[in-house]
Amino acid sequence: MKTTLKMIVVGLTALGGVNLAQAEEVSVAVAANFTAPMKAIVAEFENDTGHKAVLSFGGTGKFYAQIKNGAPFQVFLAADDTTPAKLEEEGLVVTGSRFTYAVGTLVLWSASEGIVDADGEVLNNNRFRKIAVANPKLAPYGKAALEVLTNLGLKDSLEPKFVFGENIAQTYQFVSTSNAELGFVALSQVIKEGRIASGSGWIVPGTLHEPIRQEAVVLANGKGNAAAEALMQYLRGDKAAAIIRTFGYAL
């Protein structure tokens, strides 16, 4: 009995040891808008490096609160540049690891054909009941959407029609179920093979809002984790760049 137990313990230790020596695991907090591209990138990453990446998707603000309170993430891909900067100030990230991995593109989108025209003129007619926007306080895409409407001089007149998603994923859900006729979502959510896959959309010119710079950091937790280092490297590489572009982000 005792020997069996000993063997199991030895066996487990050995397994763990082998694991550590060859490939490591990294747990990554990923902004909701980057869900689809990150899944594609990580599939390639695991294939090419043998490391494993465990992904959690969610709102950047929630991740910030969780990281501050000891969440076991090693890498954080935020939806903005202010949250990673804040974490860096607070000494919760590996210094010098912060970089822009993608620049987001905003799209005014409807699940139905023929609602949103190619120039966004739809915003000027009064023929829709609700327009979905990500909560500008929490989501960079929501902040950008409000900047667009402010620049077009439409913010005040459209305000009664706003419905707010907690993050860009929920905003997309409101529009895709047609509960809101149209809404500002991330291009990455509606794009497939380089074009808007269904419904109708207007890709908002970047001149109408501040760039949505999305930054990645290695968290203090991930210091010395080989898989975390490798993933950051991989995100800067050509293969990842190609995937990121097909999902409608700039670099």
Partner 1 sequence: MGFSDADLAAIWLTLRLAGITTLLLLLIGTPLAWWLAHTRSRWRGPVAAVVALPLVLPPTVLGFYLLLAMGPQGPVGQFTQWLGLDALPFTFWGLVVASVIYSMPFVVQPIQNAIEALGRRPLEVAATLRAGPWDRFWTVVVPLARPGFVTAAILGFAHTVGEFGVVLMIGGNIPGETRVVSVQIYDHVEAMEYAEAHWLAGSMVIFSFLVLLALHATHRHTTHGAMP
Q: How far apart are CA 159 and CA 146, in angstroms?
A: 10
Q: How far is the CB of 191 from partner 1 (least distance, A)?
A: 23
Measured CA to CA, the distance from residue 233 to residue 220 in angstroms comes to 17
- Looking at residue 32, its amino acid is A
Answer for which of 39, 52, 130, 245 binds partner 1 (CB under 8 A) is: 130
Q: Which amino acid is at 113?
A: E
Rounded Cα–Cα distance for residues 233 and 152 (Å): 39
Distance CA 41, CA 39 (A): 6
Work out how close the CB of 147 gets to partner 1 at its nearest, in angstroms, rounded to a whole number. 18
* Minimum CB–partner distance for residue 131 and partner 1 (Å): 11
Applying CB under 8 A, what is the total number of residues that bind partner 1?
A: 23
Task: Report the amino acid identity of residue 6.
Answer: K
Of 1-9, 18-26, 133-141, 144-152, which segment contacts partner 1 by CB under 8 A?
A: 133-141
Q: Are 83 and 56 in contact (CB under 8 A)?
A: no
| Smallest distance from partner 1 to CB 182, Å | 13
Report the 10 Å Cβ neighbour count for 149. 23
- Say how far apart CA 39 and CA 53 lie, in whole Å: 10
Helix, strand, coil abundance in the chain, percent, nearest 5: 45, 25, 30
Quick check: helix, strand or coil at residue 192?
Answer: strand
Window 19 to 78, contacts with partner 1 (CB under 8 A): 59, 61-62, 64-65
Residue ranges in 143-202 that form contacts with partner 1 under rule CB under 8 A: 162-166, 170, 173-174, 177-180
Minimum CB–partner distance for residue 96 and partner 1 (Å): 24
Per CB under 8 A, the list member of 135, 188, 214, 225 interacting with partner 1 is 135
Q: According to the binding rule CB under 8 A, does residue 223 interact with partner 1?
A: no
**Which CB atom, from 147 or from 166, has the smaller least distance to partner 1?**
166
How buried is 194 (Cβ within 10 angstroms: 0-12 exposed, 13-18 middle, 19+ buried)? exposed
Q: How far is the CB of 37 from partner 1 (least distance, A)?
A: 23
**Binding status of residue 84 toward partner 1 by CB under 8 A:** no
CB under 8 A: which stretch of 92-100, 124-132, 145-153, 210-218 binds partner 1? 124-132
Smallest separation, CB 49 to partner 1 (Å)? 33
Q: 245, 104, 244, 123: which is closest to 187 by C-alpha?
A: 104
Binding interface with partner 1 (CB under 8 A) = 59, 61-62, 64-65, 129-130, 132, 135, 137-138, 162-166, 170, 173-174, 177-180
